[in-house]
Structure 1
Amino acid sequence: MSRFSVVIPAYRAQGYLRECLDSVLGQSHRDWEAIVVDDGSPDACGAIAAEYAQRDPRVQLVRIEERSGAGAARDAGIARATGGHLLFLDADDMLLPGALAAIDAALTAAGDPDVLLYGHDRTDWWDKVWSVGDALDVEGLDPLTVTPAAWNRAVRRDFWTRQGLAFTPEGPYEDVVPVHRAVLEADTVAVLPRACVRWRKRRAGSVNGTPGRGHFAVIERYGDLLAGSAADRDRLFPLAVARVLAVLDDAGRVPAADRPEFFRLAAELHRAHRPAGHTPEGPREAALAAGSWSAYQKQEKLNDRRKTVSSRLARQKKKLRSRLMKAAYRTDLRTARLDPDLAVYGAYWNRGVSCNPAAIHAKARALAPHVKGVFVVSSRHKDRVPKGVPYVIEGSRRYWQTMATATYLINNSSFPGGFTKRPGQVYLQTHHGTPLKRMGLDQRRYPAGTHGISFAKVLAHTDQWDYSLSSNPHSTQVWERVYPSSAYAPLEAGYPRNDVYFTTGDDEIRRIRRELGIADGQRALLYAPTHRDYQKGFLPRLDLARFADALGDDTVVLVRAHYFYGHEAGLADTHPRLIDVTAHDRVEDLCLAADALVTDYSSLMFDYACLDRPIVTYAPDWQAYRLARGTYFDLLSGLPGDTPGAVATSEDELVAHFRDGTWDTADTTRLRSAFRERFCAYDDGGAAERVVRTLFLNG
């Protein structure tokens, strides 16, 4: 018997079914069966499912000759299931990486409850991904309030069968009754506060996005539920009202011409099942309780007017505030004197205190204590500022005052708001990496990665620089061509953020490893892939659990997702030797702790080379990356100076390197030496001091 039976009804989903099945087959947890029910689909769904069933015996195909609806299709899949827990997945949705492992761990921790609820996120046809508001981590959560869907819960199969649960055989909202009944009748319900499913909003072809009278079914479904016991009715009634009114208010579901009748039937539902002593919540439910469509419409109009007025006032207030700030800033530019001892710093578009600016700030405190340093941060990142570091919030009055009066400007990206550089101000652009991918004006040849960049603004920003920092001749040469300007001079001083790789002692490294949970004697690998312009969200091209298993008990893998993808890699607690370090404040500490780096196209490889430790390049999509973004050299060529060590283009190759010892050989050491010579030319532990002396102490 499998741990999980994943039931997938398929109808007119041929464009999505492969991606759906790949998301199941790619799970690190392997103990599952997938039952695809071809619900009389007129397209290639059946053929695709048959292909996967031939490829992997864990995939089964059930055929229904004539369409019976998603509910009946799921029931047909359940009849074939043998797994301990039922999971449901629509054919156009996906399991997120590591989902089954996280679900398995949560079930085990909770003693295999009857029902386990888990989170989901959403995507659309533009591949935009956004989170969903099911607050699963809230203490005292009523599980009935979680989105009532089949695909966000695991249910014990014996419990499902014993309770006689079944989906409504025809029509939409077929899962409303069984998923609510499962929660109501379960002895144990657990919650996993992690997104395990990606729900797809389709532009066409989905029930949710197709307006019509079919959505009247939601009233009937909740009518069936509310006809149960009085205790169940009392719990369900407010949720039923909220759900029905949400459908009524969705123009994408209920057309304007059908809204009065929908309201009438909803009012009948309210009248028939309203618990004794229930007080309508707000004027909309009061209108429903009174059965007054005109009162409901009046309330809608009032709400619309309030929203319009509130939105207009908010926009006006924001514009007025911005104009006042800019006016005060322009006055400061004319009248305020530059402070010769004030420096303003910024890093990664105001994300906190890090990278080269942070290292320069720290060294300036020691060598040039007369210079007061202030960091610019966004309001949402102010909690990441270390204690004792002065900061201003971008866009605030203090921000504009600081930008108008600081003599020194230090940033690894750009300052917000379109500031005007004054005569007498000195701007150091530190950059935040060595360029492998095309940068600056070179990006014009690769429009897929530009995302609407204004190259005129890029050049205007470049004209403000006085110094452009680099850590190797390659960077100096690239910056000069892709950020052309006679206004700045190259500062070939090395990267201050890399000083720690030359100055940190063994005792400090041991402390860092202990804090990360790396045991004495364990080998630590840092897996740090970069982002792709053509990929939304962190989706590693590596089965991390399988990789960790192949490495053995003496190895731990530190996983760091790129900051573009948020503060976590989505690992949950799925493997004892996988540690999510995405939210760690200092990537330099992670490098110091790691015995080797596994990465793809991340500029972290150039920094890590300072440590003279093995670097393994894992690049399964090298051609796609080169075509989409462009690169300055062939990372996979195997030529000295281009390739930092062992190379793998498939997961099996990567595993083999560590299994066979080819990740660290005499040949890879020679490659690493040539790579270090080319790209770490100016890094020696004294970069920050050289920058501080040049900038603040006249050389």
Structure 2
Amino acid sequence: MNGNVKEFIKNYIILPGYAFFRKLPIKKDLIIFESNMGRNYSGNPKHIYEEMIRIGLDTELECIWVLEDTNTEIPGNAKKIKRSRLSYYYNMARAKIWVFDTRDPPSIQKRDQGYYIQTWHGTPLKKLGMDMDDVFMAGNMDIIDYKRNLYNDTQKWDFLLSQNEFSTEIFKRAFAFADEGSKFQEIWTYGYPRNDVLSNNNNEKDIKKLKEDLGIPKDKKVLLYAPTWRDNEFHRQSIYKFATALDFDLLKEKLADNYAIIVKYHYLVVENIDWSDYEGFIYTFEADQDISNLYLVSDMLITDYSSVMFDYCILDRPMFFFMYDLESYRDELRGFYFDVLEEIPGPISKKTEELIEDIKNHDFEIYQSKYRAFKDKYVKYDDGKASNRVIDKILELKDTDKNVARKELDKNLSNEN
């Protein structure tokens, strides 16, 4: 189907249909889930939904997942719909609650009676949103357009999930969310549902089964390499390159006897790399592989500026930071919210040789003080029960009349003043 036909269908069938669907009654038991713009079944929405399955709510509520590939396997009783189809607009218009972890299309407008729960996807080290000074990405968008589009999106959100108080304060400013003038927006500092499994399944039996299922060797130490993306290294809009300065040949030469490496791309990175020369040493998985499983089967983490550091520290395992472009990333590309040299609980390296030495000679004990402080600041709410806290709120919201709730809030605020 060519672009002109698609544009015609969108403008003369889908969008008018969406306007009509928005006049239909809201279905209070209908919940829409989406992760990574529909690219896969993952993240906080996945783990909220799977906890709903565990306690039987998927049979009591109508759950729908938005996916690019509707052949994606999903447990429970959820229906699957494809983004941008007429059925997508119909269900988005009628759902009482949306549970997303990334931004939604500009053409989608939330109903006044609906609730939008934005679960987000990480504690920020890198500056984001309104705190950014410039944008380096595909397309012609400048920083003013970027911030305008972001603001229009964040004002749809009713609730924003946060992992910790540090993130909560940043989100207020970076997303212009739940500030003094936003009395109907709220941040839930609950921890992340996707991390419940790191508390609940961190045991020998579950890890052994995961290794068997994933084909990970049991007789070697397993390193997980999970770097972030670089804003200025992309193929096209929202599709980024796998940017690294690691020498994988040298890693294989020096570590292959005792170690195996899992390489996990950031969800915005799309690459088709031939790893066949590293068979038995480097392991990769499809984009929809839950990174929580990879955390659990690994013994150590190698990362850079990715928020995986905040999740992985829940496991109390060593972390190594390969920051070959530290100065340019910090000073020119993004900027940081805290001093990584002071806070991160592990050694920093800029060359592969240095990283290898750090791995071979690591002394976890010397970082224990930093590690404890890091955990206390960033993951104290990741206690294995974050999904339940969110679900309790969902059950409360589905039976709440938003207009009545707003009037009650206005009344309470007036009484306070």
Q: Same fold (TM over 0.5)?
A: yes
Q: Say if 2:250 and 2:352, in contact at 8 Å, map to a contact too.
A: no
Choose from 77, 94, 115 the match for 1:405.
94
* Length-normalised TM-score, structure 1: 0.52
Correspondence for 1:677 among 356, 376, 399: 376
Partner of 1:415: 104
Counterpart of 2:185 in structure 1 is: 488
In 2 relative to 1, CA 581–689 (structure 1 residues): closer, same or farther, beyond 3 Å?
A: same
* Counterpart secondary structure, 1:670: helix
Contact 2:310 2:378 in 1 (8 A): yes
Paired residues for 1:415-494 under 5 Å: 415-443=104-132, 445-448=133-136, 452=141, 454-485=146-177, 486=182, 487-494=184-191
Following the alignment from structure 1 to structure 2, what is the Cα–Cα distance between the partners of residues 610 and 317? Answer: 46
The 5 A counterparts of 1:181-330 are 315-316=4-5, 318-330=7-19
Q: Determine the structure 1 residue equivalent to 2:214.
A: 516
Tell me which amino acid in the other structure corresponds to 1:541: A
Q: Are the counterparts in 2 of residues 365 and 371 from structure 1 also a CA contact under 8 Å?
A: no
Pair 328,698 (structure 1): closer, same or farther in 2 beyond 3 Å:
closer
TM-score in terms of structure 2 length: 0.85
Aligned to 2:352: 651
- Show the counterpart of 2:61: 371
1:524-578 CA distance string (max 9 Å, x none): 0001111111224224211113113312412111111223332654322434311
Aligned structure 1 segments of 4 or more residues deviating by more than 4 angstroms: none
Structure 2: distance between partners of 1:340 and 1:478:
32
1:415 Cα deviation from its structure 2 partner: 2.2
Does residue 41 of structure 2 align to residue 353 of structure 1? Answer: yes
- Aligned partner of 2:198 in structure 1 is 501
In the alignment, is the contact (CA less than 8 A) between 1:610 and 1:676 conserved in 2? yes
Q: How does 1:111-150 map to 2 (within 5 A)?
A: none
Is the 8 Å Cα contact of residues 527 and 560 (structure 1) preserved in structure 2?
yes
**How big is the shift at 1:354?**
0.7
Matched pairs, number: 378
Matches of 2:258 and 2:110 in 1, distance apart? 54
Give yes or no for the alignment of 1:634 onto 2:339: yes
1:691 matched to 2:390? The reply is: yes
| Structure 1 position 447, deviation (Å) | 2.8
- Structure 1 residue 429: Cα displacement: 0.7
Structure 1 residue 518, shift from structure 2 partner: 2.5
Residue from 552, 557, 564 that aligns with 2:268: 564
The AA in structure 1 aligned to 2:197 is V
Q: Deviations over 1:19-50 (max 9, x none)?
A: xxxxxxxxxxxxxxxxxxxxxxxxxxxxxxxx
1:667 correspondence with 2:366: yes
Report the equivalent of 2:223.
Answer: 525
Counterpart residue identity of residue 694, structure 1: K
| Per-residue deviation, 1:607 | 0.8
From the superposition, tell whether residues 529 and 345 of structure 1 become closer, same or farther in structure 2 (CA, over 3 Å).
Answer: same
Show structure 1 runs of 5+ residues with no match: 1-309
Q: Which has the higher contact order (CA 8 A, sep 6+)?
A: 2
Which of 20, 24, 31 aligns to 1:343? It is 31
Equivalences for 1:4-19 in 2 at 5 Å?
A: none
Contact 1:644 1:668 in 2 (8 A): yes
Q: Is the 8 A contact 1:526 1:560 kept in 2?
A: yes
Residue of structure 2 equivalent to 1:38: none
User: Tell me, what secondary structure is at the counterpart of 1:526?
Assistant: strand
Q: In the alignment, is the contact (CA less than 8 A) between 1:438 and 1:629 conserved in 2?
A: yes
In structure 2, relative to structure 1, the CA distance for the partners of 1:340 and 1:528 (3 Å cut) is same
Look up the equivalent residue of 1:630 and give its one-letter code.
G
Distance 2:168 2:267 in 1: 26
* Aligned partner of residue 564 in structure 1, secondary structure: coil
User: 2:415 aligns to what?
Assistant: none
Query: Deviations 1:111-142 (Å, cap 9, x if unpaired)?
Result: xxxxxxxxxxxxxxxxxxxxxxxxxxxxxxxx
Q: Distance in 1 between matches of 2:46 and 2:172?
A: 24
Distance 1:421 1:523 in 2: 48
Q: Provide the residue aligned with 1:261 in structure 2.
A: none
Structure 2: state its 5+ residue gaps. Answer: 235-240, 399-417
Contact 1:348–1:412 (CA under 8 A) maintained in structure 2: yes
**Cα distance in structure 2, aligned partners of 1:352 and 1:575:** 26
* Equivalent position SS for 2:64: strand
The superposition leaves residues 668-696 of structure 1 with CA deviations (integer Å, 9 ceiling, x where unpaired) of: 22222211111102110000000000122
> Is the Cα contact below 8 Å between 1:473 and 1:681 reproduced in 2?
no
How far is 1:393 from its partner?
A: 0.9
Task: Give the whole-Å Cα distance in 1 for the aligned partners of 2:40 and 2:359.
Answer: 36
Distance 1:694 1:450 in 2: 38
CA contact (8 A) 1:612 1:673 kept: no
Q: Distance in 1 between matches of 2:338 and 2:195?
A: 23
Aligned partners of 2:262 and 2:26: how far apart in 1? Answer: 45
Superposed counterparts of 1:87-166, under 5 Å: none
> Relative to 1, partners in 2 of residues 1:446 and 1:518: Cα closer, same or farther, differing over 3 Å?
same
Supply the distance in 1 between the matched residues of 2:264 and 2:101 (Cα, whole angstroms): 21
- Match for 2:328 among 610, 621, 624? 624
Q: Return closer, same or farther for 1:603/1:512 CA change in 2, 3 Å cut-off.
A: same
Q: Which amino acid aligns with 1:348?
A: N
2: CA distance between counterparts of 1:582 and 1:541?
22
**2:403 corresponds to:** none
Residues 347 and 413 in structure 1, CA contact (< 8 A), matched pair in contact too:
yes
Cα distance in 2 for residues equivalent to 1:446 and 1:616: 29
What is the rounded CA distance, in whole Å, between the counterparts of 2:170 and 2:138 in structure 1?
A: 18
> Any idea what SS the aligned residue of 1:363 has?
helix
Equivalents in 2 of 1:672, 1:488: separation in Å? Answer: 33
Report the CA distance between 1:446 and its aligned residue: 2.5
Partner of 2:402: none
Give the C-alpha shift of residue 510 in structure 1: 0.6
In the TM superposition, 1:548-627 aligns within 5 A as 548-566=252-270, 568-581=272-285, 583=287, 585-626=289-330, 627=332
Query: Shift in Å at residue 460 of structure 1?
Result: 1.6
Structure 1 residues 634 and 383: CA distance shift in structure 2, 3 A: farther
CA displacement, residues 66-110 of structure 1 (integer Å, 9 cap, x when unaligned): xxxxxxxxxxxxxxxxxxxxxxxxxxxxxxxxxxxxxxxxxxxxx
SS at structure 1 position matched to 2:262:
strand
SS at match of 2:36: coil
Tell me the CA shift for residue 608 of structure 1. Answer: 0.7
Structure 2 Cα separation of the partners of residues 386 and 573 of structure 1: 33
Using a 3 Å threshold, how does the CA distance of structure 1 residues 575 and 406 change in structure 2: closer, same or farther? same
TM-fit CA distance, 1:501 = 0.2
Letter in 2 for 1:357: P
Check the 8 A contact 1:449/1:628 in 2, yes or no: no
Q: CA offset at residue 387 of structure 1?
A: 5.5
> Which amino acid in structure 1 is aligned with residue 61 of structure 2?
V
Aligned AA (1:386): I
User: Aligned with 1:448: secondary structure?
Assistant: coil
Q: Who wins on radius of gyration, i.e. which is larger?
A: 1
Kept after mapping to 2: 8 A contact 1:606/1:680: yes
Rounded to whole Å, the distance in 2 between the matches of 1:654 and 1:481 is: 36
Contact map agreement 1:394 1:416 (CA 8 A) in 2? no
How big is each residue's C-alpha offset from its partner over 1:385-418, in whole Å with a ceiling of 9 and x where there is no partner?
4355421111111111111110001111122352
For the aligned residues, what is the CA RMSD? 2.1
